[in-house]
Amino acid sequence: MSSTTVLVLGATGFVGRHVLAALRDAQVRVIAGCREPARLDPSFRGEVRAGDLLDPEYRVRVFEGVDVVCYAAAWSALYGHAEASRARYLEPGLACIDAAVAAGVERFVLTSALNVRGVSRSRFRGIREGLPATWPHLANVIALEAHMQARAGTTRMVALRFGHFSGVGGGLGIMPVLLPRLRARLVPWLERGAVPLPLVDGADIGQAFLRAALAEGLEPWQAIDVVGPEVPTFREVLRLLHDVYGLPQPWFSVSLDTAFRFAHGAELVARLSGRAPLLTRSIVFLSEPLTPDPLGAARIGYAPRVPWSASVRGQVNELLEARRPARLVDALPAPGGAG
């Protein structure tokens, strides 16, 4: 596929930067799609198509002459923000899928989430039956996947279902939320620390996109679980944070069911106070045990390399140095779109 043209949408974000890095040595033509070209990695020397995915004209021209789309354009919210997620994520995402198909794009690769597969089997009724209210943004991720399935055909559709993002450059995820709560001793053990945390480093995210973009023999629709080389437990991650950074460990344990009920109450209090909740039902759901399926990743030749401990250290070192505030919602694009 040496003559392949690959468009990376959201090229200045966490995922997009790692995708560009992974494509750097591939024998393909790479185009970066973004709102602010000045934020691109200075080493990038390919074509830039600047614009906003909320602009219908841009959504038409950005796909011209493109064979593969790596859709890294996104923002995320762990609770609430339903209208913003619909307007800034779901609607432009649906429109981009349709525009890519209309332009004759051969393959469309989406940034998705490992826990999409866990919704139907969740122990929590509020997740299984009430996801749009409990976690609107994940419901929109599922809606994008469903639309990809419906449009799959001459355009191959691939959803990369990633575990929790970690590593350098990751300003949103488990670590930014966890660190200040550990310092304040507000984090309990969940199920005595036995719950898994399927982390994936940014460099491995880039490699997964590279493999999905160029792999041969894909089905018209395929969803692929992507995690790191090992899946640590919650206890292992917190032990590292204690041993390396001196962060206090939890002093009591609660069940996931208790945590879910407490999180629901915390969300109700947050609505009255106007502040971000201490805990959300989405975070508890993310802690439910979920074994990734390795077959799809093996089929595209994805082999993760970055150990979870090195990835966590890289992210935590950066967070501590930058003193970034913890956020349960990513910074809203202004005005929106390609990221």
Q: What confidence tens digit (pLDDT) does each residue in 245-281 have?
A: 999 999 999 999 999 999 999 999 998 998 888 889 9
CA angle 204, 295, 205 (to 5 degrees): 15
d(C-alpha 253, C-alpha 165), whole Å: 25
CA distances from 24 to 108, 160, 185, 316 (A): 19, 20, 43, 27
In a domain, 255, yes or no: yes
- Split into its structural domains, the chain has a count of 1
Please state the rounded mean pLDDT for residues 155-159: 98
CATH number at residue 92: 3.40.50.720
Mean pLDDT over each residue of the chain, to the nearest integer: 91
In a domain, 122, yes or no: yes
Residue found by looking up tokens 């989406």 in the block: 110
Token pair for residue 99?
């525009």
In a domain, 331, yes or no: no
DSSP code, position 77: B
Task: Give this prediction's pTM.
Answer: 0.92
Strands 221-226 and 47-50, bridge-based pairing? unpaired
Which of 223, 211, 303, 164 shows the shortest CA–CA distance to 19?
A: 211
d(C-alpha 132, C-alpha 128), whole Å: 10
CA angle 120, 124, 126 (to 5 degrees): 90
DSSP code, position 92: H
Better pLDDT: 23 or 75: 23
Give the 3-state secondary structure of residue 69.
Answer: strand
Give 323's pLDDT tier (boundaries 50, 70, 90). low
**DSSP characters over 27-38:** SSEEEEEES-GG
In a domain, 334, yes or no: no
Q: What confidence tens digit (pLDDT) does each residue in 49-66 have?
A: 999 999 999 999 999 999
Report, in angstroms and rounded to the nearest whole number, the Rg of the chain calculated over CA atoms.
19
In a domain, 170, yes or no: yes
| Contact status, residue 280 vs residue 219, Cβ threshold 8 Å | no
| Contact status, residue 261 vs residue 169, Cβ threshold 8 Å | no
Question: What's the pLDDT at 172?
Answer: 65
Whether omega before 335 lies within 30 degrees of 0, making that bond cis, reads yes
Find the domain containing 109 and state its range: 5-322
Residue found by looking up tokens 């692929």 in the block: 224
d(C-alpha 245, C-alpha 313), whole Å: 9
In a domain, 339, yes or no: no
CA distances from 233 to 8, 186, 320 (A): 33, 19, 23
In a domain, 88, yes or no: yes
In a domain, 205, yes or no: yes
Q: What confidence tens digit (pLDDT) does each residue in 37-48 have?
A: 999 989 898 999
Residue found by looking up tokens 């690769």 in the block: 109
CA distances from 207 to 46, 90, 139, 140, 155 (A): 19, 25, 26, 25, 21
